[in-house]
Structures are given as C-alpha cells and as structure tokens.
Amino acid sequence: MKNLEITTPLVSVSWLSKHLDHPDLIILDATIKKVTSHDTIKKPNVNIKNARFFDIKHTFSDTNTNIPNMLSSPETFSEACRALGISSHHKIVIYDKLGIYSSPRVWWMFKAMGHNAVAVLDGGLPSWQKAGLPCEPEENSIKITASGNFEATLVPNLIQDADAIVNAMNNNDILILDARSPGRFTGVEPEPRKSLKGGHIPNSINLHYTKVLNNGKMLPTSELLEILKPFSIENKKLIFTCGSGITACILMLASELVGYHKVSIYDGSWSEWGQLDGVPIEC
C-alpha cells in the first residue's frame, strides 16, 4: 500500500473515501454543541466509518481553569492522543457533525502540538452522508485495542495569551480578527456566557466565521481571497479570536487555504478578555 500524505489543510469526502481504510489514517469526530442558544440543529447519531471521538471539552482541554476550551499541556495532550491509539506517524482527518464548526479547532490543536499531517474534512458528516458514503451507529464506534506513541512538541508562535494581545492591539504590523457575530462584537448582543462583558478588543476587526462558509463547507479559495483582501493582510501577522477559541480556528483555516501562514490563535479569546480586570474594551 502506498504511503499516505496529507498536503492540504482541507480534504474532500472523495479523498477520504479513497483512503478510508489506510492503516496510517486516523479519523476523528470533533463534534461539540454550539454555545449560542439558538442552535437547533439535530445532530446525526452516526459516525463516519472508523472514526474515534475527540473530546474537545473535557479530555483535550485544560480543566484547571474556568476559561473554556483552553489548550492542555503537551504532556496531557500526548497522553490523551495515545489513549485514542494515535501515534506520531499517523495522518489525521477531523470532521464534525455540523459541517465545519469545531473541526478546525482540533486541526489547530494538532498543529500547535507540532503535528502537521492533519486536515479538516470539507463539509463534515453532512457532506459525507449526502455522498452516500459508509457510516456506522455511534454505539458501534471503533474499539481502541492498542495505545499509540504520540509525542507532542508545543509550537509557541501559533498560540497567543492576553499579554500578547495587549502588546499586539496597537501594533500596526499585527491584525486581530474577531470571528464572533457583529452583535457580540459591538456589544449590542449579549454574550452567551452571562458573566462576560460586551464589546471587543481595541483595534480588532470583525469577520464573522460564517462569511467563509457556505452550507457547512469552505468557500472556494478565490472567494476567500476576496473576503480577506479588504483587510490588507499581506504584510501583517494575524491573530484570530472569538468567544472561546473555536470559531477563530475557522478563520485561521481559511487563511491557510489561501496561502497565508503568519497566523495564530488567542486561546483564551473573549471568554478570558471579557472577564479580565484592567484591560481595554471597545463597543
């Protein structure tokens, strides 16, 4: 069997179907519930064949903080990956049951942990099902029979904290893009997490994550370029933020797809900034 290579951050359902049973491939279901209260989408109770569940909210997040979805330590991440049977030689494809929502977060997590052989399934489970490709009931999910040997190596330049944001927000060489809705960005729409203030990081720019998607799939690169072009990003470093580090990764994926790689994620995002004392907020 030929070696499996992942050369793009986004793969199609036809690509995954072709390589579905390759021994070097790991398929991860990264589904989470949307934080916004108007999420009424019924999620299918089936998985793509051979998929393993990647628990963003618990197993793979730092549980020692009140900020949701924070990246865990490399040691914790490695241990959890090994328990899923993931080894460092594996090629990883991630999907979710909403199309593209939480899967880019896991794509970024692996990249931040030094593993670049990783991609998001364009359109997720809905596109897979629409193509009539093999699924299995959730209760029949793959049984992990052996631990992996995954070893994480943190890539610090892909991750930003609040101190970095303080330094970045008045730096003309850095652009902060906020993936939340316009209402949340301007503070006229309440935050779904009730304890948080409204508004946005000073000098940040709003680009709602839905702008780069169409029916749960990424827009073509030509359209992504048109969306990003007004922000004059060519000579800037980009930091993406959102509510809790999930949808920021959708914007980062879009940027990578058009060949822009000077990118990072503010891991704490508004869940951190919106509760900090002494940091500036604009509305």
- Which residues are identified as catalytic? 242
Interhelix angle 221-228/248-257, nearest 10 degrees = 110
Identify the bridge partners of residue 265 per DSSP, sorted by sequence position. 159, 240
Q: Which amino acid is at 121?
A: L
- 249 burial (CB, 10 Å; 0-12 / 13-18 / 19+) is buried
Sheet of 174-178, strands arranged across? 159-160, 263-266, 237-241, 174-178, 205-206
With a CB cutoff of 8 Å and minimum separation 6, the contacts of 259 are none
Strand 205-206 relative to strand 174-178, pairing = parallel
CA 268 to chain centre: 13
Strand 159-160 relative to strand 174-178, pairing = unpaired
Instruction: Give the DSSP H or E segment for 278.
Output: none
